[in-house]
Amino acid sequence: MKVTQALLSVSDKSGVVEFARQLAALGVELLSTGGTAKALRDAGLDVTDVGDYTGFPEMLDGRVKTLHPKVHGGILARRDVPEHLATIEAHHIPRIDLVVVNLYPFQATVAKAGCTLADAIENIDIGGPTMVRAAAKNHGNEAGGVGIVTEPADYAAIIDELTANACTLSHKTRFELARKAFTHTARYDAAIANWLTAVNADKLDDSAAPERVEYPAKLQLAFDKVQDLRYGENPHQTAAFYRDLNVPVGAIAGYTQLQGKELSYNNIGDADATWECLKAFDPATPACVIVKHANPCGVAFGATAEEAYRRAFTTDREAAYGGIIAFNQTVDVAAAEAVAGQFAEVIIAPAYTPEALAIFAAKKNLRILTCPLGRISQSDYKRVGGGLLVQTYDDAIIQPADLKVVTQRAPSETEIRDMLFAWNVAKFVKSNCIVYAKDGLTLGIGSGQVKRVDSAVIAKIKAEAAGLPLAGCAAASEAFLPFRDGLDVLAQAGATALIQPGGSIRDDEVIAAADEQNIAMVFTGVRHFRH
C-alpha cells in the first residue's frame, strides 16, 4: 500500500525540511502542525495545517491539536480490515501512512539550571507520544500499515526505500521503525518518571526549581545493546554488553576496537578496571597499568610509554600474562615492540601511531582499543538477588594538603609522592589490600584477603619473588589497619611510610607501633573499599 499522506510534527527539526521536500517529490501529501508546518511552508512546500485538516484549530496553547478522530482514525485504521477502511471512508478520513514525530524536549528542559516545576510539566508531550504509539501499534503486516519515524537519522533510508519501491515501505521496515518508536516513548516516559519521583512532594512551588532527592523513588534505566557475547564470566553463562544512552567521555564503553577478536565478558570488565586505574594519574606523565582478573598487577610511570610498560611489567611478570594493558600516551613503535613480546588479551590507549598498529597487526587475536581520556562521574550499579544497589561514583581525590600526619616523624616529599602513587593504585585493588610502591612503580600488590595482614604478607612475597627491594618504599592501605600486626609486617618488609584512611578504634595502637619503628604515617579520612 503506497504512502499517500504523511504527518510531520517534530521538536527536533534537523533535516525535516529536506525530508519533507523529498516526500513531496514522491507525490506524498504533507500534513503538519505549528512550528513544523511553518518551517515547511517557509521552505516553499505545500503543507496542510492540522487545524485546517480537522476543522478544529490548535487550542489550549497547543496542548490540543492532533487529538482528533480525523488524525487518529487515519493512523489507526487497519489496512487489512475492510470494515476499518469502509469506516474511515464513510467519515471522510484519509489514511495517514507515514507519521514523523519526535517529542517535546523534556530531558533538555530539566537539565537546565533553575528549571522550574512548571517548565518541566509544560514540556511533557501528550499528543506526540499518542501519535507515535498509535502509528507504531498499527505498523501492520504484509497487507500494509503505518510507518513511524522518530529519529532524523532514519530520514535518508526511508527516502531510499520509498524511491526504490514505488513509494511503499516493507513490513520489516515498518516493524523496525515501530520498535524504535516504542523505545523512544518508553525512554521519554522513563525520564519523566525519574525526574518527577525525585521531586520532594512536600515542598512544591511551580515557579521555582523544585527541591529534589538524589535518588528517585522509582528508578527506570535504559541501555542500548552493543553486542551479544560468546559467553559470560564462565562458558556455561550467556551474556551481552549494553551501553549507556549517553556514554561519558573517558568511559570504557566509548571504546573503538581497531583489531582483534570479539571482546569477551571478562575482557570488558577487566578493561574497565584497567582504564579507570590509569585515569587516576596525571596524563602529562607517561603511565602504564596492567590488570589481571580486575586487579592491578603492575602500575608504573616512565619517561616514555615504553619505559612505563617495562617498569609495570616487572611488578609481577607471571600475573601480567594474559592481562589487560593500558597506556595514557600514544603507543609508538618502541612501546608496541615491547608489548608484542608479552601475551596480552587487550591493549587500550588514547591513540597509536600507524607503525605501532602495523606491529600489532601480526598478532591477529590481540584486541586493540582506543578510548579518550577523561574523568567520569556517573552512578555505580550493582545487581543483587531481586534488587539493585546504586551509589555515586568513587571519585574522591586526595592531594598532599589533605593528608593528616599522625606520627612523630613527618614524611619527606619523596615519601608523600610515593604514598599518593600507592594510594591511587590501592583504590582499584580489591579489598582488603596493601600496595608497596617507590619511585612511580608498584613493588608488590596484595589483594582481596579477608585479613589485611595477609595482604601485607602476600604483597611482600610478590615483591621478593620479582626481585624488587622494599627498603625505603611507601605502602598504602585502602581502609584502616584494624591491628598493629599489619604495620609490623610493613616495617619488617622495609616500608618507611604508610598512607591509610584512619578511623579504627585501635588507631592509637597502630600509631604507637609506627612511632616505635620510625614509620611516617598519614591519614586521608577517606577509604576506598572495592568489592
Q: How far apart are CA 208 and CA 11, in angstroms?
A: 25
Non-local (6+) Cβ contacts of 241 within 8 A are 225, 226, 227, 229, 263, 265, 268
Matching residue, cell 487515519: 74
Q: Would you give the DSSP letter of residue 407? A: S
Q: Is the dihedral of CA 445, 467, 519, 280 positive or negative?
A: negative
Q: What domains, with CATH codes, occur in the chain?
A: 5-196 (3.40.50.1380), 250-370 (3.40.140.20), 400-523 (3.40.140.20)
- Mean pLDDT score, 72-100: 89
Phi and psi at residue 173, to the nearest 5°: -60, -45
Looking at the DSSP bridge assignments, the partners of residue 144 are 141
Q: How far apart are CA 139 and CA 324, in angstroms?
A: 46
Name the nearest CA neighbour of 447 among 424, 477, 406.
477
Locate 338 and state its grid cell.
615491547
Q: What is the pLDDT of residues 171-181, one digit of tens each?
A: 999 999 999 99
Count of H-run helices and E-run strands, the chain: 19, 21
SS3 404: strand
Phi and psi at residue 143, to the nearest 5°: -75, -15
Q: How far apart are CA 10 and CA 35, in angstroms?
A: 8
Q: What is the pLDDT of residues 392-433, one digit of tens each?
A: 899 899 999 999 999 999 999 999 999 999 999 999 999 999
Model's pTM, two decimal places?
Answer: 0.86
Q: How far apart are CA 8 and CA 21, in angstroms?
A: 12
Q: Bin 522: left if φ > 0, else alpha if -120 < ψ < 50, else beta.
A: beta
- Place 72 in a pLDDT band, splitting at 50, 70 and 90: confident
Instruction: Give the strand pairing for 47-49 and 223-229.
Output: unpaired
> Are 167 and 26 a contacting pair, CB within 8 Å?
yes
Active site residues: 137, 293
Name the nearest CA neighbour of 142 among 105, 112, 174.
174
Q: How far apart are CA 464 and CA 458, in angstroms?
A: 10
The answer, yes or no, to whether residue 128 has pLDDT greater than 90, is: no
The answer, yes or no, to whether residue 231 has pLDDT greater than 70, is: yes
> Are 332 and 359 a contacting pair, CB within 8 Å?
no
> Are 309 and 325 a contacting pair, CB within 8 Å?
yes
How many CA atoms are closer than 13 Å to the CA of 166, on its beta-carbon side? 2
- Place 361 in a pLDDT band, splitting at 50, 70 and 90: very high
